[in-house]
Chain A
């Protein structure tokens, strides 16, 4: 009787496991030094219950991309992020923010749907400081990983122009508030 209960218990436990996502033995991986394979390995782990390692994996992939710089890397990252977001591991907004932070000329940290006076000006220096940090990521993504110097210089130029225009606009907004 006792052994029957144990056998039944074991069966129930095994049956339950069969329907769950397979759990990787360890989420720590040494990714391949080829970006395509590294992305494949990372996606396998993400699907095996290691989703919470997404940020660390992304940084590992960036490192591989920088060591194997090529213009196609930009596209590989975009496709990876689309797959990961389609799988529901991150949402579409996070995927967009991440891709644009590293691989687009435009700044994620300089966006918003309210007017500049009310949205950007109260946190003007924070916006500029965030844009400076983002430029460092663009240097990695555009220049080092994708060999796209032209886009990186445009981002650098855009930051300086935005800084100048924001300074003047916010001063004009502040003077308007005083009057």
Chain B
């Protein structure tokens, strides 16, 4: 008996395979952009971020108070003043405390961020990079019914005024709720989360470097003195990513709710 399949069964298998591929994902690119594994990664990142925020909130608040006191006491450049030296020392200690608290949580955060970033990167590349053309991407962003203003657009855009954990909760809820819905907004959400993750990964790397530098300073038994611009940048970066306290808010204006007139459709329309 031959082990080779007969041609009829090969054709039948091919038809079955084609049919199963064609009907595998009725929701189209939405499910392909956000399969369950990606959703799970987002949920986990939210949890890890929340734990980190809870840990850091009090320390960062204290750090802010000390910086304010340092400024109000006109300590800038007054190194010989004993009071100022004490505030500067407290500032340095709190800064180290912040870095230590972060270093405890950073590996877990880094893992969660990397997982989410990598899984989304793969999805973005295959679904939006390889399987779409600029024309189809534009059509999908605009939505099938190009003349209606959708009410299902996500409210959040960019990195604006929302805590990291809340942002991921919102992302999770949004994606979970709209997995069976239109694909248009979810491409934007996927892009937004991915870019967020890139920023978070950069911050994690910068913070780890800073922890290394600060530890070395501690080992050399040197005083930090007043907070340096590098230290201030790290603190601002942490606040921006974790608590959404950004000075630069990228907002996309929503369209005014104008009555959609019966639109003229030109034979030249794309």
Q: Say whether, besides A74-B266, A111-B270, A158 and B138 are in contact (CB < 8 Å).
A: yes
A74-B264, A117-B129 known; A172-B124 Cβ under 8 A: yes
The number of residues on chain A lying at the interface, defined by a beta carbon within 8 Å of a beta carbon of chain B, is: 52
> Can you list 28 A-B pairs, Cβ within 8 angstroms, ordered by A?
A71-B264, A99-B266, A100-B269, A110-B137, A111-B134, A111-B270, A112-B134, A113-B133, A116-B128, A116-B133, A117-B129, A120-B134, A150-B256, A150-B260, A153-B253, A153-B258, A154-B142, A157-B252, A157-B255, A158-B141, A161-B187, A162-B138, A169-B137, A171-B195, A172-B120, A172-B124, A172-B125, A172-B128
Name B residues whose Cβ lies closer than 8 Å to a Cβ of A: 120-122, 124-125, 128-135, 137-139, 141-142, 146, 149, 157-158, 187-188, 190-192, 194-195, 198, 252-256, 258, 260-261, 263-264, 266-270
Tell me the residues in window 146-171 of chain A with beta carbons closer than 8 Å to chain B beta carbons: 148-151, 153-154, 156-158, 160-162, 164-165, 167-171
Nearest-neighbour CB distance to chain A for B122, whole angstroms, equals: 8
Give chain A nearest CB distance to B78 CB in angstroms.
Answer: 45
**A3 interfacial contact with B, CB 8 Å:** no
Report chain B residues within 8 Å CB of A160: 252
Q: How far is the CB of B76 from chain A (nearest CB, A)?
A: 39
Q: How far is the CB of B143 from chain A (nearest CB, A)?
A: 10
Smallest CB separation, B71 vs chain A (Å): 37
A165 touches B133 (CB 8 A): no
Does A64 interact with chain B (Cβ within 8 Å)?
Answer: no
The contact of B129 among A100, A153, A157, A176, by CB within 8 Å, is A176
Q: Within 8 Å CB of B141, what residues of A? A: 158, 161-162, 165
The distance from the CB of B91 to the nearest CB of chain A, in whole angstroms, is 37
In the complex, are the beta carbons of A116 and B268 less than 8 A apart?
A: no
Q: What A residues does B191 contact at CB under 8 A?
A: 164-165, 167-169
